[in-house]
Structure 1
Amino acid sequence: MNAVEIEQAITDLAEQPFDRAEFPYAFLEAFGNKATTIKRLRAGASNKSDLGGVLQTSNIHILTCDAGRVTQTLAALKASPATAKAKAKFILATDGTDFEAEDLTSGETVACAFEDFPDHFGFFLPLAGISTVRQISENAFDIRATSRLNRLYVELLKDNPEWGTAERRHDMNKFMARLIFCFFAEDTDIFVGKGRFTETVAQMSARDSSNTHEVLATLFRAMNTKRDDRAAARIPRWAEDFPYVNGQLFSGGDEVPRFSKIARSYLLHVGGLDWTKINPDIFGSMIQAVAEDEERGELGMHYTSVPNILKVLNPLFLDDLREKLEEADDNARMLLNLRKRIAKIRVFDPACGSGNFLVIAYKEMRAIEAEINRRRGEPDRASEIPVTNFRGIELRDFPAEIARLALVIAEYQCDVLYRGQKLALAEFLPLRNENWITCGNALRLDWLSICPPAGTGVKVQADDLFRTPLDQAEIDFENEGGETYICGNPPYLGSRWRDKEQQDDLAALFAGRAPSFKDLDYVAAWYLKAADYLHAVPDCCCAFVATKSICQGEQVAMLWPLIFGQGLEISFAYRPFHWSNLAAANAGVTVVIVGIASARSSKKTLFEGDEKRVVDSIGPYLIPVGNIIVQKAPRPLNGLPRMDYGNKPTDGGNLILDRATKDGLVAARPEAARFIRAYVGSTEFINGVPRFCLWVEDKEVDDARLVPEICERFENVRKLRAESKGQQANANADTPHRFVFAPHRSGSALIIPRVSSERRPYLPVGIVDDATVISDRAAVIYRPETWLLGIVASRMHLVWIATVCVRMRMDFSYSNTLGWHTFPVPTLTEKNKADLTRCAEDILLAREHHFPATIADLYDPENMPADLRAAHERNDEVLERIYIGRRFKNDTERLEKLFDLYTKMTASAALAKGKKRKAGANA
């Protein structure tokens, strides 16, 4: 469950008659506990309470009580030995009238009337595994409003299914935007009298809801009619007090969907909320899910925290503005110049969604402007920052509408905060007619036409602020001069998750500029579009949230040369961090933030966690080593042995056997045993899963075919390969006993799984004998010297792989040509090799000591055996002393050294290649 769903379940519980015996179970169910869990608690199997309540281990102890005894009951829960023994995080007591609870970890408490406990649902979210509790608690209203609007939306579509069709979707979206504005306006005195809109609907519409749509249509028509024209428009007296809103919000027709009694009830309930608490920067990103069919199932998961947004905006330009404010102190002239500069800054989000980044940027800039006005003795001065300077592009209709509305609401809230409600109200209505959020495909639109260079006049005509055409190319207002900052959180979408239209977007943008681009994440297209824009508009900077994979592996070589080739550089960056949402137990995504700007000599800023470093340069791998890009090497550049991928069957599963199949075949046909070998790939090696394969040499084929079961499998392989569209499979159809790629050699082999979890402190690696066939899901070095294991199993190699190879979600994807053949290693002496051999042997012996534990067991970061960890530590120390004579301080220092060596290694290889070519020419 996510936060919105939990809030709704808790609200429903609070509205039901209080059942003392049932409440604890209903409460736990509201936080996502499964029916089986509740059943075990009811039966007493997992209920550890010693007070007759319900105690869930490591979670909560709940006890209902007689009237008036809530405080004493909470004290008893806290003193209970069972509470401590079960490590309960929360205690809760209620009598159905009062409600008290305590977080035993933080000491925070809740005490309220029973019907009000849903207001504190964020307090209990750890019970559902949700970690973003602070942000949710601070924005509880937005979650509650989203939940209520969603119920209204779904109910309306039941009775008005045509409003959910593609043809009417815009009408439904605009209707919802109008309601949100009215709810906000009635609670903030924009409409005279708090709750006036909701009260009018309640009074003028029949209880059976038969005319609710007509009442709303009349109110919307009034808000679209100037006062002088209302008599002619026959606006009834009961709607006269509602102001003319303009801004095209109420234009374009006043049709309203029909309401059922339930829908009318929901509407009044939503209007009864306190809309003064709305947070436009948060609310917008959540409410957009209401109107998106594919997102409604994840309602509430679109929260983007303000601190995360500020990770983009602060280093992009806000920190500089604050520094200039600090420098100006009380100097009136410097303050005036800064205010003029701020008024001309444009913030452009070409994937703006519902406007989070734009709203936060606007509010932060208004705060700086307000401080300037305070220092200059002009606290009531009207803002010179136009919301039309906060421009966006959004593909979907409803989020684009919400983005405009969110900025309008943010403008009003800032006016109230900095100038007072009287002045804010006097200047708020009518709304502007300008359109500054474009609805369209950002990768197909010309950004220069939407946010043009300073001093360039362009026009976008739109007959409706809340409806803009895809092909719009002009804006009918322009702000002379000033800087432009591009920002946002574009869609990520790896190659496997894109539809055809999105693939075509990339092709249209990258074709002719990059030989390979299909494996790039979708977000890379926004960087290239931004680079084109920055190339044309020098006084501009950009920063996006992106998948970390655009700064890892093969994507680096595909994307970043195109960026750097336009005279741009990385100006600041956040190394990978977790970008989470409001869902329980959410996986979130690991992201980076990368800022780009025109190349200049100023210092760059690199962020990692809470650490901030000022550096001379930031490379595409987000380390301070310049614009070095690691390229695939078909042969080792480092003097180490060549690494291959393992043996590839392309057999439809006919050459591979699980243990049961293998045992059954050998029992029935003992002569088959000589053709069966152990078969090991990533999963088999790491998790100890036994698998086998048929391995038949050419000289043994006739003997193998005498076994009917094997002969049948060969025939299946032949048919599959013959019918395959793959050239490699076709070419091997006549040799079905052989793997299509079979580098297997006699002797031992060093195995490295191609996919392994990044949670492990070291890469899993091992040595197997030639009775084992290594699959193509692993990499292999045949007949290795033992010291090679010490290199592959080192921290040095792990951080290199983590940086230059691709990541698959939370896993490393090991590459021989990108990760091993390029790995920089100093020249090793015989003593170095002997020392590393002893270290490798110690690692292998430590593993054997814990037999039959699997690699997964041994390298669990929380349960790694002490002797194995110590063996790895010794190995790391020996290897790192070979590099620099001491241990490295951290991974960043390791990478800086590795990239320095890589630069020297590739330069030497290029020089040697040049000399060889020259010698060949002279010959």
Structure 2
Amino acid sequence: MNAVEIEQAITDLAEQPFDSAEFPYAFLEAFGNKATTIKRLRAGASNKSDLGGVLQTSNIHILTCDAGRVTQTLAALKASSATVKAKAKFILATDGADFEAEDLTSGETVACAFKDFPDHFGFFLPLAGISTVRQISENAFDIRATSRLNRLYVELLKDNPEWGAAERRHDMNNLMARLIFCFFAEDTDIFIGKGRFTETVAQMSARDSSNTHEVLATLFRTMNTKREDRAAAKIPRWAEDFPYVNGQLFSGGDEVPRFSKIARSYLLHVGGLDWTKINPDIFGSMIQAVAEDEERGELGMHYTSVPNILKVLNPLFLDDLREKLDEADDNVRMLLNLRKRIAKIRVFDPACGSGNFLVIAYKELRAIEAEINRRRGEPDRASEIPVTNFRGIELRDFPAEIARLALVIAEYQCDVLYRGQKLALAEFLPLRNENWITCHNALRIDWLSMCPATGTGVKLQADDLFETPLDQAEIDFQNEGGETYICGNPPYKGSKWQSDEQKADLANAWVKHPKLAKTTDFVTGWFARFFDYADSVPNAVAAFVATNSICQGQQAIDVWPIAFQRGYEIRFAHTSFKWANLASHNAGVTVVIVGLGEKSTLPKRLYQEELLKQCSAIGPYLVPDSLAYVQKANDPIGEQSTMLFGNMPRDGGHLFLDAELAEKVIAEDVDVRPFVKRFVGSTELINGKLRYCLWIADKDVESAKRSVFIAERLRLVAENRKQSDAESTRQFATQPHRFVQIAGVARRDQILVPGVSSENRPYLPCDYLTADVIASNKCFALYDAPLWNMALIVSKLHWVWIGTVCVRMRTDFSYSNTVGWNTFPVPALTDKNKADLTRCAEDILLAREHHFPATIADLYHPENMPADLRAAHDRNDEVLERIYIGRRFKNDTERLEKLFDLYTKMTASAAPAKGKKRKAGDNA
């Protein structure tokens, strides 16, 4: 369950008659516990309570009690030995009137009326396995509001299906935007009298809901009519007190869909929430899912944390402004100049969605401006930062409208915070008509039309919810000479998953470099458009969130040389981290943040988790002080042995046997035994899974066919290959006994490396196997190579190198011989070096053997790695790193700096090694 679903479930629970016996089970069910789990608790099989309550191990201890004894009951739960023994994270006590709970980890508590406990649902989200950040718990209102609006939206479409059609979708979305504004306005005194809008709808609409749509239409028409024109417009007296809002929010028609009784109830319920708590930072990114059919199933997962947004905005421009504020201290002239500078800053998000980045940027600038005004003794001064300086492009109309509305709400909230409610109200209405967020395709529209170089001459008028005023120059003048900062979190989409339309959009963006449109992630289109934009706008800078794959593997080689050739540099960057959301278990894509600008002498900033490194340059792989990029190599650049593919069958599965079948066939047919070999791919190597194949040399075909089992299997292989779409496979139909691609076979032994493996292991998985094992094409193999090669592969140095230069499958390592192994820079090794490394590899293998039959997955679990195995690896790292620099490296950054420095020197000075021939291809 996601957070919105949980909120709805506990709200329903709070509205039901209190049943003291059933409440604990219903509460746990609301947080996603399965029926079987609840059944076991009811039966007492898993209930560890010593107080007659319900205690779920490692989760929560719940106890209902007699009236007036909630506080004492909570104390008893905390003192309970069972609570401690079961490692409960929460305790909860209630009598149906009062409600108290405590987080035993943090010490935070909740105490409220029972009917209000859903307001605190964010407090309990860890019960559902949702890793929360503080913003979620503090802004539980946004999730509640999203849930209510979603139910209203779905109910309205159920009764008015035509409003869900493409031609009416905009009208439906516009209705939701109007309602959100009205709910906010009635709770913040924008409409005189708290709850005035909801109360009016409740009073003037019939209980059977027959005229609810007419009441809403009248109110919307009122808010679009100036007071002097209302008599002519025949506005009824009951609507007269509502203000003129303007800003085009209520223009464009006042038709409203019909409401059922249920829809009317939902409407009043939504209005009954306290909308003063709305947080435009995150509300928009969740509410946009309400209006998107394909996203509604993910409702509640659309949360972009403010700290993540600030990872983009702080180094882009906010850190510099704060430094200037510190330098100014109380110097009124310097403060004035800084205020003037801030007033001219434009923030442009060309993939703005519901406006998260723009809202955060606006609020942060207002905070700096407010501090300037405070130091200058002008606390009540009106803001000089226009919301028109926060510009965006969004492909879908509803998120674009929500972005506009979010900025309007943010502006009002900032005015209340910094100038007081009275001044904020006096200047809020009517809404201004200006708006600089448009619904368009960011890879098709000319960004200069939205954010021109000088701040004047805007050609494109915004559409839909707000309209651009005719006198554009008057608005633009305040931006003359201002700075432009481009930012955002564009859609990612790898090349294989792009639609035909997206491929065409990407080709349009990379029109100057068409090859890149065929191989790069969709997000690179925004990089391409920035380069074109910055060619016309001097000193423009940008920072985008992007998939980490653009700084790995082939994309790093494709994208960054072009960027550097065009005169741009990476000004700052955040190395890979999870861009988390509200999904259960903190799911999120792994991203990087890249800040771009024209080449300069400014110091560059590289952020790695909480560490900041100043450097002279940041390279394509986000490595400090190196602009080198790694090209595929057909042979190793150092002394390491040649690494080849494993073997590819293309057999339809007919050459393979699981462990049970292999044992059975060998026992029943003596002719089969010589041809059954253990087969190892990535899964088999890592998880110890036993799998077998038929391996038949050309000279042994007739002998093998004496087995009825083998003969039938070869017939099936032949039939399968004949039907293949690939000519290369069909050619092997006449040789069904052999694999289609045989890269090599060991004579003595082999070192195997999985093609794909998890980044969570502290070392790359690798194993040393005898010659009678057949390597899969899902592995890479060193056949009959010296064992010291294994010491290189399982080192921390190689882990860091592969994680940087090879492409990844999501966050997993995708190994490559040509990009990862052949390019791995290894210093010249002495005989003693090789002997030392061989001993290290032997020690690692011996340590593994001590824990037989533990698998690679077992042994290299990040939290359960055996101490002797960890010590063997640590010794291996120390021996190898001393070969490189005479001591251990301090961290991965230092490792990468040395590796790239050595790579640059080796590839610049050394000719390709003679006598080494590449025997097979690579799947890089």
Q: Distance in 1 between matches of 2:537 and 2:876?
A: 52
CA contact (8 A) 1:752 1:780 kept: yes
The residue number in structure 1 matching 2:627 is: 627
* Alpha-carbon offset, residue 456 of structure 1: 4.5
Question: Percent identity, aligned pairs only?
Answer: 75
- The reply on whether 1:678 has 2:673 as its aligned counterpart is no
What is the total number of aligned residue pairs between the two structures?
908
CA contact (8 A) 1:676 1:693 kept: yes
Distance across 2 between alignment mates of 1:65 and 1:143: 30
Aligned equivalents of 2:465, 2:292: Cα separation in 1: 21
**Mean Cα deviation higher: 801-810 or 403-412:** 801-810
Name the stretch that deviates more: 349-358 or 697-706.
Answer: 697-706
Match of 1:39 in 2: 39
What does residue 732 of structure 1 align with? Answer: 732
Aligned amino acid, residue 822 of structure 1: T
Give the SS at the match of 1:248: coil
Distance 2:528 2:421 in 1: 44
Q: How does 1:817-896 map to 2 (within 5 A)?
A: 817-896=818-897
Tell me which residue corresponds to 1:706: 706
Q: In 1, Cα distance between the equivalents of 2:189 and 2:731?
A: 78
Give the distance between the partners of 1:737 and 1:506, measured in 2 at CA. 45
1:762 matched to 2:763? The reply is yes
Quote how far apart the aligned CAs of 1:517 are: 4.6
Deviation at 1:467, TM superposition (A): 8.5
Q: Give the TM-score of the pair, scaled to structure 2.
A: 0.96
Structure 2: which 5+ residue stretches go unaligned? 915-924
Residues in 2 aligned to 1:503 and 1:734: alpha-carbon distance in whole angstroms:
40
- Map of 1:781 onto structure 2: 782
1:567: Cα distance to partner? Answer: 0.7
Give CA deviations for 1:519-578 in whole Å, capped at 9, x if unaligned.
422212212222222232122111111111211222211211222122111111111122
Tell me how far 1:587 sits from its aligned partner. 2.0
**Maintained 8 Å contact 1:251/1:464:** no
**CA displacement at 1:715 relative to structure 2:** 3.0
Distance apart, 1:790 and its partner CA: 0.8
Give the equivalent residue in structure 2 for 1:648. 648
How far apart, in 2, do the equivalents of 1:523 and 1:464 lie?
27
For 1:444-480, what per-residue CA distance to the aligned partner results, in whole angstroms no more than 9, with x for missing partners?
Answer: 2111111111154122235633599xxxxx9995332
* Distance (Å, rounded) in 2 between the aligned partners of 1:58 and 1:555: 44
Post-superposition offset of 1:834: 0.6
User: Which moves more between the two structures, 255-264 or 238-247?
Assistant: 238-247
One-letter code of the match for 1:291? A
Confirm or deny: 8 A CA contact 1:535 1:566 kept in the other structure: no
Q: CA 1:684 to 1:905, structure 2 compared with 1: closer, same or farther past 3 Å?
A: same
Task: Assess, with a 3 A threshold, how the Cα gap between structure 1 residues 185 and 909 changes in structure 2: closer, same or farther.
Answer: same
Distance 1:462 1:852, change over 3 A: closer
CA drift of 1:911 comes to 9.6
Q: Which string of whole-angstrom CA distances, capped at 9 and with x for unpartnered residues, describes residues 700-729 of structure 1?
A: 222223333323332333333333232432
Matched residue SS, 1:358:
helix
Conservation of the 8 A alpha-carbon contact between 1:123 and 1:133: no
Aligned partner letter, 2:175: F
Q: How does 1:238-253 map to 2 (within 5 A)?
A: 238-253=238-253
Letter of the structure 2 residue corresponding to residue 847 of structure 1: R
Could you say which residue in structure 2 is the equivalent of 1:337? 337
Query: Following TM superposition, by how much is the alpha carbon of 1:401 offset from its aligned partner in structure 2, in angstroms?
Result: 0.4
Aligned counterparts of 1:287 and 1:455: Cα–Cα separation in 2 = 32
Deviations 1:147-180, CA, capped at 9 Å, x for gaps: 1111111111111111111111101000000000
Is it true that 1:128 corresponds to 2:133 in the alignment?
no
Deviation, structure 1 residue 331: 2.2
Distance 1:740 1:512 in 2: 41
Cα shift readout 1:185-234 (whole Å, capped 9, x = no counterpart):
11112112221111111111101100000000011111111222222221
What is the CA-CA distance between 1:2 and the residue it aligns to?
1.5
Question: Distance between the aligned counterparts of 1:744 and 1:90, measured in 2?
Answer: 58
The answer to whether the 8 Å contact 2:438/2:462 transfers is no
* Number of the residue aligned with 2:920: none
* Counterpart secondary structure, 2:572: strand
Gap change, CA 1:910 and 1:326, over 3 Å in 2: farther
User: Which residue number corresponds to residue 76 of structure 2?
Assistant: 76
Structure 2 residue aligned with 1:591: 591
User: Are the counterparts in 2 of residues 460 and 475 from structure 1 also a CA contact under 8 Å?
Assistant: no
Aligned-partner residue type, residue 342 of structure 1: I
Question: 1:287-686, aligned counterparts within 5 Å?
Answer: 287-462=287-462, 464-466=464-466, 478=476, 479-510=479-510, 513=513, 515-686=515-686
SS in structure 2 at match of 1:853:
coil
Structure 2 distance, partners of 1:879, 1:529, is 44
Q: Distance in 2 between matches of 1:19 and 1:360?
A: 44
> What TM-score, normalized by structure 1, do the two folds share?
0.96
Change (3 A) 1:890 1:835: same
Q: Is the 8 A contact 1:434 1:465 kept in 2?
A: no
Look up the SS of the partner of 1:538 in the other structure. coil
2:185 pairs with 1:185? yes
Give matches, 1:156-167, under 5 Å: 156-167=156-167
Equivalent in the alignment of 1:471? none
Look up the match of 1:50: 50
1:14-51 deviation digits (Å, cap 9, x = unpaired):
11111010000001111111111101000111001111
CA distance in 1, matches of 2:82, 2:357: 48
Partner amino acid for 1:832?
A: N
CA distance in 1, matches of 2:140, 2:818: 51
C-alpha distance in 1, partners of 2:24/2:581? Answer: 28
Deviations 1:570-607 (A, max 9, x none): 11111112221112213212221111111111111111
Once residues 293 and 85 of structure 2 are traced to their aligned partners in structure 1, the CA distance between those partners, rounded to angstroms, is: 46
Asked if 2 retains the 8 angstrom alpha-carbon contact of 1:174 and 1:466, the reply is no
- Aligned 8 A contact 2:671 2:706 in 1: no
Superposed, 1:102-141 pairs within 5 Å as: 102-141=102-141
Cα 1:298–1:838 shift into 2, 3 Å? same
2:796 is matched with which residue? Answer: 795
Q: Equivalents in 1 of 2:50, 2:435: separation in Å?
A: 64
* 1:359-390 deviation per Cα after TM superposition (whole angstroms, max 9, x unaligned): 01011111111222222232222222111110
Cα shift readout 1:293-317 (whole Å, capped 9, x = no counterpart): 1111111111111111111101100
Please name the residue that 1:921 is paired with: none
Q: Alpha-carbon deviations, 1:319-340, whole Å to 9, x = none?
A: 1111112222222222222112
Q: Deviations over 1:93-133 (max 9, x none)?
A: 11111111111112221111111111111111111112214
For residues 678 and 364 of structure 1, the distance between their equivalents in structure 2, rounded to whole angstroms, comes to 62
The answer as to whether partners of 1:514 and 1:558 remain within 8 angstroms in 2 is no
> Matches of 1:910 and 1:543 in 2, distance apart?
39
Amino acid at match of 2:350: P
Tell me how far apart the structure 1 counterparts of residues 473 and 631 of structure 2 sit (CA, whole Å): 44
Whole-angstrom distance in 2 between the partners of 1:133 and 1:822: 41
Question: Per the alignment, do residues 476 and 696 of structure 1 end up closer, same or farther by CA in structure 2, a change over 3 Å counting?
Answer: farther
Per mean C-alpha deviation after superposition, the further-off stretch among 302-311 and 209-218 is 302-311
Q: Contact 1:125–1:133 at 8 Å: present in 2 too?
A: no
Does the CA contact (< 8 Å) of 2:149 and 2:270 recur in 1?
A: yes
- Over 3 Å counting, the alpha-carbon distance change for 1:22 and 1:537 in structure 2 is same
Contact 1:395 1:441 in 2 (8 A): yes
Residues 463 and 283 of structure 1: CA distance in aligned 2, closer, same or farther (over 3 Å): closer
Q: Deviations over 1:886-913 (max 9, x none)?
A: 1111111111110110010110136999
In 1, the alpha carbon distance for the partners of 2:462 and 2:529 equals 25
3-state SS of paired residue (1:361): helix
In the aligned structure 2, how far is the partner of 1:850 from the partner of 1:417? 63
Q: 1:475 to 1:756 in 2, by over 3 A?
A: farther
How many Å separate the matches in 2 of 1:304 and 1:475? 35
Secondary structure at the residue paired with 2:167? coil
AA partner of residue 807 (structure 1):
R
> What is the Cα deviation at residue 668 of structure 1?
3.8
Please say if 1:900 is aligned against 2:901. Answer: yes
Find the residue that maps to 1:295 and give its secondary structure.
helix
- Superposed, 1:140-219 pairs within 5 Å as 140-219=140-219
CA contact (8 A) 2:142 2:282 kept: yes
Q: Equivalent residue of 1:255, what SS?
A: coil
TM-fit CA distance, 1:785:
0.5
Residue 229 of structure 2 corresponds to 229
Between 895-904 and 180-189, the greater mean CA deviation after superposition = 180-189
Matches of 1:570 and 1:912 in 2, distance apart? 34
